[in-house]
Structure formats: structure tokens, C-alpha cells
Amino acid sequence: MDRQRQIRIIAITLMLFAVLLLIALISYTAKDEANAELTMHDISGIFRGDESIRAKVDTTQNWLGLVGAVLSNILYNYTIGYPAIIFPFIIGVWAKNLFSKQIVLPRTIKMTGTFLILGILFAGLMGTFQLVSWLPTVSREWSGAVGQFLSTILSDLIGKIGSFLVIIVAILVTLIMGTDLDIDKLTMRFRLLYGKLQDKFAHLLEKYKRRSEEVESESVADEIQSKPIPIPKASPFVDEEPARIVRRAAAIEAQHEDFEPSVPIRQREPLIRRSEEPVQQPIYQNKGAEDSEKLSISQPYKPMTTHLDLPPQPVVPKVNTHPIIESDESVSDLDEEHPKTLTLTVQELQSSTHDLEIEPEINVLDEEIEYIGPNLSLLTEQHEQNIMVDDKELKENARLLQEKLETFKINIEDLVVTPGPVVTQYEFVPAAGIKISQIENLSDDIALALKARGIRIIAPIPGRGTVGIEIPNHNPSIVLFSSIIKSPKFHDADYRLPLALGKTISGEVYCCDLAKMPHLLIAGSTGSGKSVGINTLIASLLYRMHPHDLKFVIIDPKKVELAFYGLLKNHFMAVSPDVDETIITTPQNAVLALKSVVAEMDRRYDVLASVGQRNVVDYNQKVLEGKYKDTTNFVHRPMPYIVVIIDELADLMLTAAREVEEPITRIAQLARAIGIHLVVATQRPSVNVITGIIKANFPARLAYQVASKIDSRTILDMGGADQLLGNGDMLFLPGGSPKPLRIQNSFISTDEVEAICTHIGNQHGYSMPYMLPSVNEKKAGGKGGDSSIDDGRDGLFEEAARIVVTHQQGSVSLLQRRLKIGYSRAARIMDELEGAGIVGSFDGSKARGVLLESVSELEAYL
């Protein structure tokens, strides 16, 4: 009989014993304790027909008779008590390993030790409870003899409270060391559960208070009906000086008539349904007759116009202006008897009522994972405020603006006002002979006149031939992240890496594609909304991308801003085998992670060069079409996008400037074609942080409020960021654009980010995160892995073969982890194992089958 068959017979015997032991333990009862106290003489009495022994057999209630009663009594009362129920399961797992693998796997041995230690500690905890007199009595079966001994020793040394605390801590340490328990993930789940319970309790309490108030009001109403209360007769109110009030009201009315005449207001019908074709926005010419012709341009939204007439001003010679300016009279009709009226056109964006409800998409792109994307229910249900600016505020600001400009002898033609969520843009054409520089130098004077926190002058507006002045609203509106996500512009955008930035000053949703930027540089001082902005960028990608298509490398030196995304480890994270943390927090690990990204970039370029492709999009398409076959050097798989996010570049540059700048520069220069993109943020945009070589490779830049004009010029090459309002107010400069766009960043709360991460983290992810190449591979190879044996195989071939046969899993990632080598080398070794007949052929996303059943067979083969 060969050794393998002997081991399997032993495994079957152990499995039978485990089943019988489990039956004996679950049918234990304390009533059998007297019958279980047997000696060898008593056992021999069974064969002698002893009546006393026969009586014990008849009264035993255990399902395995006297043997079951004896076994369960010994395990429960003389070992570790009720935790002994784990023994049959441990024996069963060992039997399964012996039957299938002929060896007991290391993780099984580790699991056995962990559960035995936990059983002993639990028994000691129960024994401590037995020593506390004021607690309910705990039977001896809960602790057993081992638990009582352990609790007695600890209580004598450190007291009952001390022994209780020590055992609790020991249990937690055993759980952490013996299992792959993620404390951060567990803590976040408990916090989320606690928050939900707290909200539920508050809701019930509020409901109870409301019900109590209703009952109280009903009782009061009944009492009032039963006892009518006399109502005293009201005495007439007579003002002592009515004439003075009338005179004052008339004076106020006359004063308002001097600068605010009543004007007709014309509104367009609000947009009810989103048109599939671009909506034509009318832009008016100067007209001398009623049938003057209208010009139109394509716009993605339909404005509502309101005409407000300002007080008559001195006649100014009319000039040929941009078509957006509208005048009530032609130049030929102007005379001294009919002074010209300045027309104020107000454009208000009608928010689309056609918000799309996003259903969670279920895409099974890999057989090992079924992923359900986040939906809108994870976001806080709030109703976003419509962009409504009081007409009185618009008229007053327009009047003050006109008066202040006239003080410096600057006359304007017309005003076009565009209200936004946070700021309103006043757009006008200066009269002939007025220099733009004269207006730009008046920013502080205009801010003083309007009592504004800060204004921004755009002179001129590109493509318009007009001057724009952005003035903050007295009552700004909050732009919610949920309103951006459910908008058709985001949901229907044909972007590879869509980013939902927020809303423009006209209230239009603004989205962009990170893949086209291809990198983004962000700057903003503390409290400007930079961290919220990074969360919106990540969340917008999570709402549109599948884990198969996107991976993140997150570097967070502040350690707390982006910690939630550690829950995405086995879904969206790419990690370096040289780094022991998912979210990079130290400069040393940041350098290693960036070097791993550079190595991944080089590897991808080698793969693309081998098949003659120029970018990752075309390559992935050809791979999905099955046009490339695996070779000895390269394994062709779709390449996911990798987004590297650095939350605080300044901290890294202070500690390891040279080591950080080099990989960032290489990635920024070369990584666009192979799907690796950078998002770098800093709160200190000085020249020693954002160096010239880094800045030159980031054409797309995003500036929140900064401290000075110097910082604004560093990030944008122009001023303006120092005049922002904070709280998500930002300037976005797309690549190749001469002027930045002012955007109000959408707001996403920490609870919403936590809910999104928890929703994804609770799902079954990949068996491991996306592994980047190791930068220490050469060092590992130098220790004995670079030599080759006579038949041309890799020096690690035999060790890799033993690992694969021991784990019965032909996985390239398994070899990467165990041998600490890169993906390319591990794939080559796997191909050699296939050629040697140790593993099967490639089978899609599944691990290769192992053709040898035991290590002994492998040794004989080798």
C-alpha cells in the first residue's frame, strides 16, 4: 500500500471521529455526569453483565451512549469547557487537507493554533466571571478545568478586574495576529452602524415627541370646548400722527422712482425636457425696427432673459458692439429730447427637471467578482437651492457699478447679467476710447462700493469683446454632488475618465475627461475646499467606472484625509509589493510607490511595443477581440487606467524632493498613452514645490483660493485665485485655454464618502489588489534567483513549482507574492511550468489547473 493511500485512510478515519465527536458534544447534558464517571473495572462490567453498569447505560441520554457521555464530560469539564466544540471542526479540516493534499497546509496549522488560543482565553474569561460573586452564576461547563485554573492564577496576581482586562486584550491581539482582520475597516463599519442607530433613535424620539404634542393638543382642545373662554373686545388702534407717516411713505416712493422705474419683464418658458439637439439661444443685434433679424448660436442650455431699465444717462456715441448688446433705439434716433436708456439683460439658467435616476449597473467583467456600483441612495437626500438672485440686488449692484465707473469717467453701453450659484457676472461693453487697463485697476474701488468680499475682473472676455465683472451673491447656493451626478451631462458624457467638477457661474453643470488632460495640478490654501474637491473627483470616477477598468494609487501624507479609500483595497486599489500600506502615508513609501508606477509604465510600453500599438485604448480593444496571443515574454491582458493621487505634494518635496520629482516628471511626460494619470494637489503652490519641470507637464490646472497673487501666478500663470471666495470656489484652466473658467465645486460630505466606500468594500472583491512591479526585484534576484539551470529554466523554477503544487493554484500573482518578483518574470516562470507539464494551459481569468497532486510526485518528477 502506497503512502498516499495510507494518508487518505487516516484522513477518512479522522473525519469519522470528528463527526462522532461533534454528535457527542452537541448532545451533552449535565445529567450524564454521574454516568460518565467510569473506571476500567466499570467498563469491563459491561461484558460481565453487571446490573449497575447496565443501569447507567439505560439512563444515559447522550446520543453516543456511555462513550459519548465520557468524551463530552472530559472535554467540557476537564479541558476548556464549551469552547471545546471547535475540536471536531479542527479535526475535520485537518482530515480534508490530508485527503486532498496529503499534507496539512500552513494556514490550517495557523488557524488551529489561533482557535485553540481563543478557546483557552474564552474559558479563562468565563472562569473570571465565576469568581465574581455579584454576577449570575456560571456553570463549570463554560470554563472547564483549564479556564478555572487560568482565571485563578490571574486573579491572584492582578485581581479580578485586571484578569478580565488582560484576557480581553489577549483575545483582541489573537484575533488581529491570527486572522487577516482589518481594524480600520472594522472600525469604520462600527462607526457607520453606530451612526445609523443614532439616526434611527433620533427619528423615533422625534416621532414620539410629535405624537405626545398631538395628544396634548387634542386634550387642550377638548378642555377648551368643554370650558368656553371669554374673548375680550379688541380696542381700535389709532395712530397719533397719520399725516407724518403718509408724507414719509410718499417721499420714499418718490426717491425709489428716481433710480428704479417699473419695467416690463419678459421670460422664456422653462426647459421641461432635455432636447437631443443643441438648443438655439437667441442673441440679439442692435435693432432700429421691430422686424430686425435675430442671430443665434448653439448652446447646451436655454436661458431666461429679463430686461431691466436703468436711469437715463448722458448721451454716449453709439459704437458697433457685440451682438449680445440690445438697445431700444438706433443711433440715428438719438437726440437731446430722448436720452439713451441703458438696458440690463439678466440671463438665468433654468435647472433641468429631467434628472436621471441612476440604476446600479451589474457588470461581471471577471468571473471572480460581481460588482454593483454605488447609486444615489448613498448620498444625502437634500434639495439643492435654485439659483435665484433677488432682482433688487441685481438692480442695486448694477446701479452702484455704473455710478462707480462714471466716477472715473468710464461710460458703458449695456449690461448682461448672468446669475450663478455663488457669483453673478456683470458683462458690459465700455464706450469708445476707454482703455481696458483703466477698468482692471478699479477692482478694489468697485469692491468697496459694492461692499463685496472680493471681485474679479475679466478684461476682455475671450471671444466676446466685452468686459466681465464677477460679484459675489449675498445669499450663495450650495451645489450638491448628487445634483451633478444625476445630471444628464455627467451620466451621458462619453468620457473615459469623467470628472464632475461642479457648476459654472451661469449654473451649467461642468464635466471634463481626465484622460484628455492628461494630468491635473491642484492648489488651494487651508479651508478653500481642496480636500472636498479631491473627494468629488474620486467619487465621480467611482460612480462611472468598474474595478476592472480603473485602479488608484493614493498618497496621503496627512494620513486622515483619504483614509476611507482603504476599504477599496481589493476593488480599486493598485499597490506596490514593496509597500506595506494601501493608502501611502510616509515619504519613503511614497517614493517606492511612485517608482513602482514608473516600472509599470515601462512594462506597459514594452507590451505595446511588442504588438505595434501606440495607446492603451487601441491595445485593450484588440485584446478583447482576441487578436494577440501570449508569448514567452508577454502575457496580453486588458490594462486598467491607473490614477495616481497625491494629496500634499509640499510635504513630500520637503522630505524627499529629488526622489519624488524624478518619477512624477517621468510619469507626467510619458504616461499619457498607456493610461496612467496624475492628480497632484498642494496647499502651498510655491516655486520650490511646483517646480518648473513639474509645472511644464501639467497643462490642466485647478486653483482654489490662495493666499497671494504670487501663488495665483505660480499655479495659473495669472492672478485671480487670490480673489476667490473659498468653500469650493475655484478657477479651472483646461489645457490650451487662454483664460480659466470659474466653477463652484460640488459638495460631498464625509458621511457620503464613507457610505460609498463602505458600499463597495462590503462586496466581494478580487482576491488581491492590482500589483505593481517591484522595484526591489533585482535585489531579490541577486540572492540566488538570476542563475539559470542547464535546461534554460529560471533559477526560481523549482521553488515556484513547489509553491504551485503545495497550494494547488497556478496563479501568477501567487508567485509574485511568495517569490517577491515582478509580473513579467512570474509570468515567464508560469509558462515554463506549463511547458514542463506541471500546470495546465491558460484559461481566461481562472487560475491554471495543477496537474500534479502532491509534493512527493513533484519531487519524483524533478
* Strand intervals (E) in 455-591: 456-458, 467-472, 498-504, 509-513, 520-523, 550-555, 574-575
Residue 152 cell numbers, joined: 485563578
Residue 112 DSSP SS3:
helix
**pLDDT band at residue 1 under the 50/70/90 scheme:** low
**pLDDT band at residue 65 under the 50/70/90 scheme:** confident
What per-residue confidence (pLDDT) applies to 786? 41
- CA–CA gap between residue 858 and residue 803 (Å, rounded): 11
* Strand intervals (E) in 544-633: 550-555, 574-575
Q: Is residue 822 over pLDDT 50? A: yes
* Residue % of the chain over a pLDDT of 90: 25
Q: What is the 3-state secondary structure (H, E, C) of 670-692?
A: HHHHHCEEEEEEECCCCCCCCCH
Which position has the higher pLDDT, 419 or 217?
419
- CA–CA gap between residue 230 and residue 384 (Å, rounded): 48
- CA–CA gap between residue 768 and residue 368 (Å, rounded): 11
The reported pTM is 0.53
Q: Is residue 189 over pLDDT 80? A: no
DSSP state of 480: B
Among 757, 695, 706, 699, smallest CA distance to 729 is for: 706
Q: What is the mean pLDDT of residues 803-824?
A: 86
Among 460, 389, 392, smallest CA distance to 418 is for: 389
Residue 142 DSSP SS3:
helix
Q: What is the mean pLDDT of residues 143-149?
A: 91
Which position has the higher pLDDT, 676 or 578?
676
CA dihedral 310, 314, 320, 326 (to 10 degrees): 20
Among 737, 755, 523, smallest CA distance to 646 is for: 523
Which position has the higher pLDDT, 618 or 393?
618
What per-residue confidence (pLDDT) applies to 522? 94
- CA–CA gap between residue 500 and residue 485 (Å, rounded): 7
Q: What is the 3-state secondary structure (H, E, C) of 202-222?
A: HHHHHHHHHHHHHHHHHHHHH
Bridge partners (DSSP) of residue 419 are 424
Among 606, 675, 618, 525, smallest CA distance to 822 is for: 606
**pLDDT band at residue 43 under the 50/70/90 scheme:** low
What per-residue confidence (pLDDT) applies to 298? 33
Q: What is the mean pLDDT of residues 686-699?
A: 85
- CA–CA gap between residue 21 and residue 6 (Å, rounded): 22
Asked if 339 and 387 touch (Cβ cutoff 8 Å), the reply is no
What per-residue confidence (pLDDT) applies to 448? 85
What residue ranges define each of the domains in the chain, with the CATH number in brackets? 3-184 (no CATH), 279-341+388-472 (3.30.980.40), 513-761 (3.40.50.300), 776-861 (1.10.10.10)
- CA–CA gap between residue 411 and residue 536 (Å, rounded): 43
Q: Is residue 233 over pLDDT 90? A: no
- CA–CA gap between residue 428 and residue 471 (Å, rounded): 14
Q: How many CB atoms lie within 10 A of CB 713?
A: 17
Q: How far is CA 25 from the centre of its chain?
A: 48
Residue 551 sits at φ, ψ, to 5 deg, of -135, 150
Q: What is the mean pLDDT of residues 471-490?
A: 87
Asked if 239 and 245 touch (Cβ cutoff 8 Å), the reply is yes
pLDDT tens, residue by residue, 651-690:
888 888 888 888 999 999 888 899 999 999 998 888 888 8
* % helix, strand, coil for the chain, step of 5: 50, 15, 40
**Residue whose entry in the numeric block shows the C-alpha cell 457685440:** 322
Q: What is the mean pLDDT of residues 328-346?
A: 45
Asked if 710 and 640 touch (Cβ cutoff 8 Å), the reply is no
pLDDT tens, residue by residue, 206-225:
777 777 766 666 555 555 44
* Strand intervals (E) in 595-658: 641-646
Burial class (CB in 10 A: 0-12, 13-18, 19+), 388: exposed
Helices 40-48 & 51-59 angle (0-180, nearest 10)? 100
Q: Which range, 431-440, 592-601, 631-640, has the best average confidence (pLDDT)?
A: 592-601
